[in-house]
Structure 1
């Protein structure tokens, strides 16, 4: 045995443990390190057998010490574990969990984002003499062991696009997807297609993939995790973490840290605990399904027993998902119970068409049930009964009107149209012969004169009103300020100062010279866009809370409720616009920056479900959003896939979903249930993107230009489809409702 090599390995284990503990001192560890450093001197004259026994004793003692330290590690220690270069990576898993694999889509520093690794792999299973090769598509963030070109698993938009491309390939080939989530978060760049837009597309498309998806979490950082984390079954390594934001990021926000300052270690540690980011926390909240146990202080590349466990659990998870949607429910349940007892059962992973439909429906129901404990439902019993009865009435009305009457009317209309077309063919031939006879006699027909007038005359508007008027009944408080206001572009565009009363009343907050849109209150929008007295709010008393018990946060939420008169940052209501009935959800910047938590997500989903029941178009107006509410932890983060699945279900049923951004809109909502809309528009002067300037500088060190997030940049990369002046919102929305949509389920 090479004694120096054994001593070196023990020293490396001690160094690793020190790294995991951060600044925390462990006297017994330091004493042990000293003992190893003095080993050579102490055993200089000893024979080899005595040295070997001494080293074996040291190894056993260190193993015991690692187990004792492991039992006491904190949430922040686990963050350091998953970030350590020795941490098990996706390449290690491919080499040791799967039997054969081939990387696709590029695999080195010259490929399209080498941080995202895609592989076509096989799992070989034996039963007696029978050998079955079962193919899977493996996708995941790859950090490597300190490989800089992989960017620490922080994925750029084109990396997430690459993952989605091959997940769709897996769906076409009908093979399961195994996704390994190991990222601190996506790289916040807005180059085409944009970080937020690509994550939103990934979540939306994954929701409808018709193959089993298994996600395994090691480091699940914010929207980067959600880009490939939408799964039928979610597993998590016992020393991993899954969070809406890193503990350092949360501490920076909580401590109001600016510039080059660093948050205190104590604050970072407390934020890691308060956000409930560990595997055990996420299992208790229901956001993962099972934990894969790791060796003490986390799995590293040479822990081969760990790979056996990973293999066993991903196979079992895939089998269970397949069985859960196949065949009769009774026999599926028996098969699953039997399978847990007898691991030698081989389950085929192919699914019938009906089973694939059940899989997607089951996925929707799974995510719909999440986070039900994380918001406050302050509605009275009477309100709840009223909401239930309204839902039943709406569903019944919808069934009769759209399930029975409308198809019958469409069939009758189709028969009449076909008969009319046939009559027109016959009369057209007779009419042509008549006009031909007149021309031979030298007469000009009335029809010809009419065609001349249509070609040379001026067209007339059907509606003579140039501007849709609205009696608002609301005056912006800014209009009461008796002073002139200077446009931000006055220096380069020569805009004249504007009297506040004129600017915030007649001009609707729009500079009459350059068109700059000054920020306005959400009340202005409510009173000036929709028909007078048509707004009917619902689910008002579903309220934001503090589901993680984050220190001192409950008081801040209550203060926001008191200040704004709102119960959450999301307001949902029914309204009409020029007689067109629609459902709307508004994210309001006044309430905690318009951030989204469990209450906001639940209200958004219920509004979508109501719009689907009523067959109405759905409008998401974003007065402003700062992203997901970090103090709610994964309770907030899970709203990204939850709300996106509800959007997908609504659109798949034929609904029209329009998003309109105002002021500043960033992060999780834009990277999911807002960004997945096919019809997104922005008010001029608004700003939108994946991460704000401060976050970009903190994570990448890059200074971004002032116009990096303006709506014209978003338009140029295809994130939005148009830019509107605030004065034109009502008119443009009316036109949109009349001209775009899926199968026109909503009001026609």
Structure 2
């Protein structure tokens, strides 16, 4: 009877798993089948053994048949259900079955620092010719099982991602590879210090140049939460995992415009799951992952030791590949050939080679180069580029010539200029009238060749101007369309501060959309900034040939895209241009709210990366002005998500080259861009009345079950939390930006 009881328990688990996969009891009458098992368990001591085993065999055959049928045609929504099943393997199972030994770091159990993120120092071994060779690795990942009640479903809090970053740096110091395991539906959306968005941005920024091999494995990858530990040299994914910009339920709520509290139609959720292209096969085709790790047809579970053996092999193989690519391509090709030959007979028991995972300094440089190239190439070809091959070729030639020119002018010659000027200044400081007469012509010659930007002053060229007005006569030609309505509006703070009603032509004219009593900033169109912030006639747009498309064929999105193009006259939500502030040249990337709410997709990411490169080559400061951003564009799936590490990689390289990167937020700025290439800037400012954060109030409420105060995302609170470094008044935007350009940044800028 003991064996029959065990068999019945196993059958009950298999049926429960099918119920999880199919999303309910209705499919093939699974509820009745489960009742039959429960009935046998109740009557186990009243029936003879032969009858019980006969019934067990009958039910087992039926369950096996249903499992085969279910596996034949899994929908994307059902794959999501597989990942969410309580029987799915977790990071704890991997640590126990893939690695030989491990020591958890950062605390244990209830004493852990955010138990949704687990870090362990582990040993993984390979066998070669009956000998065992061990490697030390750092394991960092999400844990959603083994104490589910306090692990928060694998949703990392900001301090959990901070813990991950701390041990990434430990691994870098010790020179050991990192294995990341992604099991999260998304990060916990709170702004408590260090803040969800800010910490994700810090993690991605650090991983871009982390000097150690990194391999990641994705089981459940939810947008920004996945990217916090997702940037790696090789990205593996379980064949029954999912990686998505948003959950199918979240996409359904947006697409169906479902009000909060209303039930989501199951058909709409399934439709959105299919549209998001979130499966492993979809992501491999899109190039957002490198390889698929095969699982059983209905997914691997906690006791699937064959899968764990395969995963161990794939992790060692991937780490070997990362290391070998930094050495010799010939060695890598030979290794890859050996692997392919061995795989013909399944997962090899032994390896033909033992690879030393230590890297020399030149190999580390090669590692970083390959990582940069990998992420810069992601999502290429999934945006429109309206140019012929000859024009593109001329553009590349021009870029190469520009790079050489600026390298010579501001690299080679500028360094010599500084040395000569330093000698001149040191000699001149002795006060010798004779030497001053000798050095003055030399100084004048250098200043003629390398002119310094003119600085505005109180009475001429002598000192910095106290206030650079944005109301100069040269801008009077542009009037905001909002100023054409002959009516009054009330300030939203009138009850608190006693603000008087404002006449619209004044409010959007001389008041710049700012209440003169309390300083509340009414939203202004993006063109107002183009006309008033920069020197007149200095704005020269580039990258206009890169346009947003519908790369996933998301149903209904093409028509919405075309409407936005027709309405705005623009073809993406990002504008990149050269401009001047008081004659200082800078490169600007602007996300504006009129086009798809300022969301970022493949086109916007590519434009941003090219603008970043332009600023780096020309040694100009780089400004990201965020008129509005609603996050990553869900209609582009993981092609949108991958812009987070891709753009951050470009920013990191620009900053490391000595550039000055400034971010200014306005209106509503949320989600993926803030949690990556915007949030990683050392200089972040917000226009007063800005709302800034990781997730909006509704998402926070639905995720945490808690309401947030009305001012939770205010610029004032963002400043208190350390998210931004200052709050700017719109009327002083130009003045503050000019002063920032003159006082911030290192000597690598062309005008320093």
TM over 0.5: yes
Contact 2:581 2:738 in 1 (8 A): yes
Structure 2 residue 332 is matched with structure 1 residue 332:
yes
Post-superposition offset of 1:206: 0.7
Is residue 540 of structure 2 the alignment partner of residue 552 of structure 1?
no
Give the Å deviation of 1:383.
Answer: 5.0
Contact 1:582 1:617 in 2 (8 A): yes
Which residue number in structure 1 is paired with residue 144 of structure 2?
143
- Call closer, same or farther: CA 1:38–1:705 in 2, change over 3 Å: closer
Q: Flag the 1:151–1:38 CA change in 2: closer, same or farther, 3 A.
A: closer
Which one of 356, 359, 365 corresponds to residue 364 of structure 2?
Answer: 356
Structural mapping, 1:12-161, within 5 Å: 12-23=13-24, 25-27=26-28, 29=30, 33=34, 36=37, 55=56, 58-59=59-60, 62-128=63-129, 130-145=131-146, 147-161=148-162
CA distance, structure 1, for counterparts of residue 678 and residue 368 of structure 2: 21
- Cα 1:149–1:33 shift into 2, 3 Å: closer
CA distance in 1: counterparts of 2:710 and 2:28, whole angstroms: 51
Do structure 1's residue 390 and structure 2's residue 398 form an aligned pair? Answer: yes
**Alpha carbons of structure 1 residues 81 and 743: separation in structure 2 relative to 1, 3 Å:** farther
Of residues 378, 382, 390 in structure 2, which corresponds to 1:374?
382
Which stretches in structure 2 are left out of the alignment for 5+ residues? 343-350, 436-460
Q: Could you give the per-residue CA deviations for residues 635-666 of structure 1, whole angstroms, max 9, x where no partner exists? A: 11111111010110111111111000010000
Name the stretch that deviates more: 507-516 or 596-605: 507-516
The residue number in structure 1 matching 2:346 is none
Partner residue in 2 for 1:568: 572
* Separation of aligned partners in 1, 2:728 and 2:226: 33
**1:4 is the counterpart of 2:12:** no
Indicate conservation of the 8 Å contact 2:484/2:505, yes or no: yes
Question: In structure 2, what is the Cα distance between the partners aligned to 1:423 and 1:93?
Answer: 73
Structure 1 residues 466 and 226: CA distance shift in structure 2, 3 A: closer
Q: Which residue of 2 aligns with 1:653?
A: 657
1:746: Cα distance to partner?
4.2
Residues 491 and 130 of structure 1, relative CA distance in 2, 3 Å threshold: same
- Which of 511, 527, 530 is the aligned partner of 2:531? 527
CA contact (8 A) 1:244 1:636 kept: yes
Following superposition, the deviation at residue 111 of structure 1 comes to 2.2
Post-superposition offset of 1:64:
4.4
Partner of 1:597: 601
Q: 1:43 to 1:481 in 2, by over 3 A?
A: closer
Q: Distance in 2 between matches of 1:134 and 1:486?
A: 67
Structure 1: distance between partners of 2:545 and 2:648: 23
Answer with 465-474 or 187-196: which moved more: 465-474
Q: CA deviation at 1:297?
A: 1.9
1:275-316 Cα distance to aligned partner (Å, 9 max, x none): 000111001111111111112322111111111011111111
Q: 1:418 to 1:601 in 2, by over 3 A?
A: same
Match of 1:690 in 2: 694
Question: Which whole-Å CA distance do the structure 1 matches of 2:697 and 2:371 have between them?
Answer: 36
1:27 CA drift (Å): 2.3
CA separation in 1, counterparts of 2:139 and 2:464? Answer: 57
**Residue 440 of structure 2: aligned partner:** none
* Gap change, CA 1:193 and 1:34, over 3 Å in 2: closer
Q: Could you say what secondary structure the match of 1:205 adopts?
A: helix
Computed over aligned residues only, the root mean square deviation of the Cα atoms, in angstroms, reads 2.5
Q: Provide the C-alpha distance between the structure 1 equivalents of 2:637 and 2:684, rounded to a whole number of angstroms.
A: 28
Equivalent-residue separation in structure 2 for 1:711 and 1:266 (angstroms): 40
Contact 2:410–2:750 (8 Å) recurs in 1: no
**How far apart are 1:31 and its partner, in Å?**
6.9
Quote how far apart the aligned CAs of 1:60 are. Answer: 5.5
Does residue 725 in structure 1 map to residue 726 in structure 2? no
Q: Is the 8 A contact 1:656 1:746 kept in 2?
A: no
Unaligned runs of 5+ in 1: 428-459
Q: How many residues align?
A: 716
**2:519 equivalent to 1:518:** no
Identify if the C-alpha distance between structure 1 residues 531 and 413 changes in structure 2 by more than 3 Å, giving closer, same or farther.
same
Choose 1 or 2 for highest CA Rg. Answer: 1
String of CA shifts for 1:317-347, please: whole Å, max 9, x gaps. Answer: 0111111112x33333323333444523111
Contact conserved, 1:86 with 1:145, CA < 8 A, in 2?
A: no
Matched residue, 2:672? 668
Deviation at 1:599, TM superposition (A): 0.7
Matches within 5 A, 1:252-401: 252-326=253-327, 328-341=328-341, 343-380=351-388, 384-385=392-393, 387-401=395-409
- CA offsets per residue over residues 41-63 of structure 1, 9 Å max, x none? 99999975786577467545533
Q: Residue in 2 aligned with 1:622?
A: 626
Q: Retained in 1: the 8 A contact 2:92–2:146? A: no
C-alpha separation between the residues in 2 aligned to 1:242 and 1:590? 29
In the alignment, is the contact (CA less than 8 A) between 1:679 and 1:721 conserved in 2?
yes
Flag the 1:735–1:463 CA change in 2: closer, same or farther, 3 A.
closer
Q: Is the 8 A contact 1:109 1:150 kept in 2?
A: no
Q: Please give the alpha-carbon distance, in whole angstroms, between the structure 1 residues aligned to 2:43 and 2:166.
A: 61
